[in-house]
Chains A and B, each alone.
Chain A
């Protein structure tokens, strides 16, 4: 090839490589997930955060994976993300709507509430027709009682909240079939679920804290900890404490 042809080929190849690297770096490796920002919605030193657990994730390409959803504070709909932000030094009141069925914990130690205000969580069950009364509970036996569907744990802050699950065989066989699971269709309105509320205080200094589930809910994976347990946006996420 002549010199100008070689130079032209080289320049084209160089630009192609640079473009490829940039694409991979920004679109793939550095891609940032959607974050539900609750900070502007805090008032009086408190903020309310709502999450949901579902047995299926029909909105993604992994329909049989369990997942968390977080309520978007501005639109009110439940988005498929597990990243949220709250302000520092604030009391966070968390509501978790648990639409999934029960799974035994690998280590029953995670059946005990820790790190919340009062050391308890408030649970009320919906069995498809009526709501039960609200109880304050601390220890759940996921082996003998089928009491836990997932946990919401922030190990960096010592918080562990087992999300209570519907306890009867009938309820576990009638779980919500689509995701997210909110009142809208007749089927979803009748889905059994639990409503769990608890509160904790965020630290004074900003930072990011991971949160995870300790229930081996990755069905079909060795020890149950693969799949949704290991993919961002399903059973693991990040809480950002903002100044």
Chain B
């Protein structure tokens, strides 16, 4: 296993003398978000002109009535300009010119807030950038959801035009499903995994920072769709409607492709980090469950996301170069898109669910003061979910006219995937057995996760049954199912993780009382919003409609009012978060929850290099209640121990 054992005074890569401090340039003169914005604007203008120049030569492009070619090229060069302006390629250029690279030294010397607005390679900085980014994307999507529920207050009086309504529905779905793929791996995975495995860095800091900086680009490109007339297909982008759509569809395809690239890089980085950068003594059997979740999620990202990027690319060529991948009149097939999309789309929802499992498995032992029940079962559950998720995608297509022979097969595989999912519940219930539960704010969110995911998961079993799916597919039942699993599961875990780890990453605590108010209002409002939607769907209301049967208005109004209350609970969170981080800034102790994890053994916030010395891990993080358990790690191993520990780590020992 490759372990980084570089001492602090090693020669800097690129040939600089050790110990020299490079001059710190003025923030406004060195690459950062401001130069990235300028680069993006220049890039878009160039790309747009280039698209018009090339496209005007081709009759096929001209016949399409929309300026898709110019827009897509504009966005592509926007991204390239953004990255150039951000300084992503600076080190590459320097190495090619034979000059010393700067970024590795910069990491230790940049102070203050400036580092969050630059292409900084410290994984902790990237984690916090992701956290703020993900919160912005989430609340933008949430505001769009409020707009949707406002329109659905009445089946006949329309607040928006039908085009605007579909724009909003599509933006809400895409913002959530696309931008939030990295909602946990980005902030928590990138920040905490090196700390949890005893490493000073991630394997590919440049790829990790790049994966973050592609997200604001994708966010703004997606929002620009509003200015281009929006896209009418919802987040699934089914062809041939997506080929027929106006210019806003290009924003969707480019943004989704961009996010696809971002998540591939993030997943790749995290997998290599976990496999190769574990400290001595950090055996697979001592790995925190959160890290297991990140590992399986990373595999899913790397294997599933490329199919999405391919599908989006085909949509772009169908719309710009007038290819006919998805157009049946010229030999293409609308089924092709459906299969490509859902081959990614199904692992995508497990990409969203697995990190949630990881967080709650991390929270439970701390707040029950017991080891995690069935550690191996939990890890097996995560792997089982990840592997099976590639074999179930046709359950989104049961009514589409696909080969009927395949239906019992996919019904079986989809039903089977509930077995490893059930392992997580077994682990939770076993951990609860005769425990000493502390109902802190993070623990409340973890319990809320399990209750919501139970309902979400059971409704998934209903949907996996093909006859039941005949009524439930494409209706609000599906909506309620995935909101229960993704919002009731993942987002509750996300908030639990924020309350739990904010003392560690920022060194400040959030107000616990406001946190509990946030939890209770959110939990009650959430269930009040989405539970009636099961009934609404089964009573015949399809998805993405703005007119529904008059008899369903009472239920829809109840749901809308509850959704407004849910938005209100988010405001409580925003208030708590912003005031705690900006105004109150109540200092947190190093280990406020008295947890055994390796990340809690360093200061809050952690030092720049995470650990002064690479620690030697002595026992697992869940050894509560055992008076003979060793401390989780030796943070200052004597010189020479590392060599010995490397030898013993290589041998196959018994599980802790």
Contact = CB atoms under 8 A, between A and B. Distances in A.
Contacts of A236: 162
A208 B157 CA distance: 7
A232 B244 contact: no
Contact of A227 (B65, B157, B161, B240): B65
A6 B581 CA distance: 11
B246 interface: yes
B246 A29 contact: no
Contacts, number: 64
A158 interface: no
B156 A208 contact: yes
Nearest to B143: A21
B164 interface: yes
B582 interface: yes
Q: DSSP class of B's interface residues: helix, strand, loop or mixed?
A: loop
A223 B157 CA distance: 30
A219 B65 contact: yes
Nearest to B147: A29
Nearest to B165: A29
Interface in B161-177: 161-164, 168
28 contacts: A3-B583, A6-B582, A6-B583, A7-B583, A9-B582, A10-B578, A10-B582, A21-B143, A25-B147, A28-B226, A29-B147, A30-B160, A208-B156, A218-B65, A220-B63, A220-B64, A220-B66, A221-B246, A222-B244, A222-B327, A223-B240, A226-B245, A226-B246, A227-B66, A230-B244, A230-B245, A231-B229, A232-B161
B378 to A, nearest CB: 40
B232 interface: yes
Interface in B18-77: 63-66
Contacts of A3: 583
A118 interface: no
Nearest to A7: B583
A214 to B, nearest CB: 15
Interface in A192-230: 207-208, 210, 218-223, 225-227, 230
Interface of A: 3, 6-7, 9-10, 21, 25, 28-31, 33, 64, 207-208, 210, 218-223, 225-227, 230-232, 236, 238
B646 interface: no
Interface in B230-262: 232, 240, 243-246
A227 B161 CA distance: 15
Given A221-B66, A230-B232, 6 more contacts: A9-B582, A220-B63, A220-B65, A220-B66, A227-B65, A231-B163
A92 B592 CA distance: 74
A198 to B, nearest CB: 25
Contacts of A226: 244-246
B514 interface: no
A213 to B, nearest CB: 14
B636 interface: no
Given A10-B578, A10-B582, A33-B161, A221 B156 contact: no
A207 B583 contact: no
B159 interface: yes
Contacts of A7: 583
A86 B10 CA distance: 82
Nearest to B578: A10
Contact of A221 (B65, B159, B578): B65
A29 B160 contact: yes
A222 B157 contact: no
Q: How large is the interface on B (under 10, 10 to 19, 20 to 34, 35 or more residues)?
A: 20 to 34
B158 interface: yes
Contacts of A30: 159-160
Nearest to B239: A222
B253 to A, nearest CB: 15
A230 B246 contact: yes
B574 to A, nearest CB: 10
A236 B163 CA distance: 10
Nearest to B322: A222
Contacts of B64: 220-221
Top 4 nearest A-B pairs by Cβ distance?
A220-B65, A222-B244, A232-B161, A226-B244
A139 to B, nearest CB: 27
Contacts of A238: 158
Contacts of B157: 208
A29 B168 contact: yes
Nearest to A6: B582
Contacts of A28: 164, 226
A227 B246 contact: yes
Contacts of A232: 161-163
Contacts of B226: 28
Nearest to B246: A226
Nearest to B144: A29
Contacts of B163: 230-232
B249 to A, nearest CB: 10
Contacts of A207: 156
A31 B147 CA distance: 13
Nearest to A21: B143
B244 A223 contact: yes
Nearest to A83: B161
Nearest to A28: B226
Interface string B201-245: 000000000000000000000000010010010000000100111
B168 A222 contact: no
B229 to A, nearest CB: 7
Contacts of B583: 3, 6-7, 10
Contact of A222 (B156, B160, B243): B243
A215 to B, nearest CB: 15
Contacts of B66: 220-221, 227
A148 to B, nearest CB: 21
A223 B244 CA distance: 7
A10 to B, nearest CB: 6
A3 B582 CA distance: 9
Contacts of B240: 222-223
A225 B57 CA distance: 26
B162 A225 contact: no
A208 B164 CA distance: 17
B164 A29 contact: yes
Interface in B126-177: 143, 147, 156-164, 168
Nearest to A210: B162
Interface in B71-106: none
Contacts of A25: 147
Contacts of A6: 582-583
B143 A221 contact: no
Contacts of A64: 65
